[in-house]
Amino acid sequence: MSLSGHQSRLPFGGHEKFAFRQGWLKKGVDAVLNDSLIFSREEAFVALGVGKNMAASIRYWGLALGLLQETPIEKSRAREAQVTPLGHALLADGAWDPYLEDIGSLWLLHWQLASNQERGLVWYLSFSRYYDIEFRKVSLIEFLKKQLTQLGIETTEGMIEREVDIFLRTYIPAQSKKGGSDEESLDCPLVDLSLLRTSPGETVYRFDIGSKQSLPTAVFGYALCTYLAEKAAQRSTATVDECLYMPGSPGQIFKLDENSVVTYLEELDTLTGGALSLQETAGVRQLYLHDFSPNLGWDLLGGYYG
């Protein structure tokens, strides 16, 4: 969904102030495979073995990460949930990485969230349209307030602040509070990506920009194919700058530098058998999309996990 197509209200707050936790996504996928109406049932939290608010949060994160989707049921307030092809391939029993043991899966989930312009809008805007490397929470809130106003989205400053708190908690380890329960200090798995940093006691946050040793070429390639899919329908080339600097590009969402993006593009030439090929013409480096198909990114993931 493009930003221009936004409704005036977005599903802010559906996470119930929880960042997702290890095991939650698998729980959600398994529950939906077992009962497509699970999240419309009062007793969903019993089946999931978590608190009531956590059950709602698991639903939210399943949708925000593109692992679940929902369709309304006619003449009913219930919604039927389905597991998406990615949810099946990644997290079902016997799937690629049901327990998220491979850091490549965490990069994939980060991409799914930060490129979701609807349920992950705060993540998308913060990674793709906010250009300060160092920032304080108040500056990010101010930036988001302006962005949301421009998009015609009505919300309150308190709501934006809550979204920013969860955004930060997705990537930054919790400072465990004295006497706080373990439940409160369970970090989101995406903390392991070290995309955002802060020093203990500091209120300044910093994006980690540069090469990402743990980001697999295949996951970068999947992200790139998703990003280029619309463009590839109209043209057969993309510039390195588009892959690096444009909002929604892998360069922005993975916070890469130019050398890293070029290296990934060179490696993809080999991995895709030349379907994506980096060439220099008259001093301009361009990516040629030779046999670009929407399944190309999917094939890259299959090769990586297979």
Provide the domain count of the chain. 3
Task: Write the CATH number for 197.
Answer: 1.10.10
Residues 240 and 286 in one domain: yes
Is residue 155 in some structural domain? yes
**Does 9 map to a domain?**
no
Distance CA 190, CA 276 (A): 29
**Domain endpoint, select from 32, 65, 99:** 99
- Location of structure tokens 């529950």: 31
- Dihedrals phi, psi of 145, to nearest 5 degrees: -60, -45
Together in a domain, 75 and 112: no
Token pair of 87 as six digits: 């949810």
The pLDDT value recorded for residue 47 is 85
Domain co-membership, 187 together with 93: no
Q: Which domain holds residue 188?
A: 100-208
Write down the pLDDT at residue 9.
53
Same domain, 123 and 184: yes
Q: Which of 99, 115, 142 is the last residue of a domain?
A: 99
Q: Which residues contact 231 (CB under 8 A, 6 or more apart)?
A: 238, 242
Let me know if residue 10 belongs to a domain. Answer: no
Long-range (24+ apart) CB contacts under 8 A made by 223-231 are: 223/111, 223/115, 223/250, 223/253, 223/254, 223/297, 224/250, 224/264, 224/268, 224/276, 224/297, 225/292, 225/294, 225/296, 225/297, 225/300, 226/111, 226/115, 226/297, 227/115, 228/289, 228/292, 229/294
The model's pTM: 0.93
Residues 194 and 109 in one domain: yes
Same domain, 198 and 246: no
pLDDT at position 180 is 45
pLDDT tens series, the chain, 306 aa: 445 444 445 667 788 899 999 999 999 999 999 999 899 888 888 888 888 889 899 999 999 999 999 988 887 788 899 999 999 999 999 999 999 999 999 999 999 999 999 999 999 999 999 999 999 999 999 999 999 999 999 889 999 999 999 999 999 998 644 444 444 458 999 999 999 999 777 799 999 999 999 999 999 999 999 999 988 989 999 999 999 999 999 999 999 999 999 999 999 999 999 999 999 888 888 999 988 888 999 999 999 999
State residue 67's pLDDT score: 98
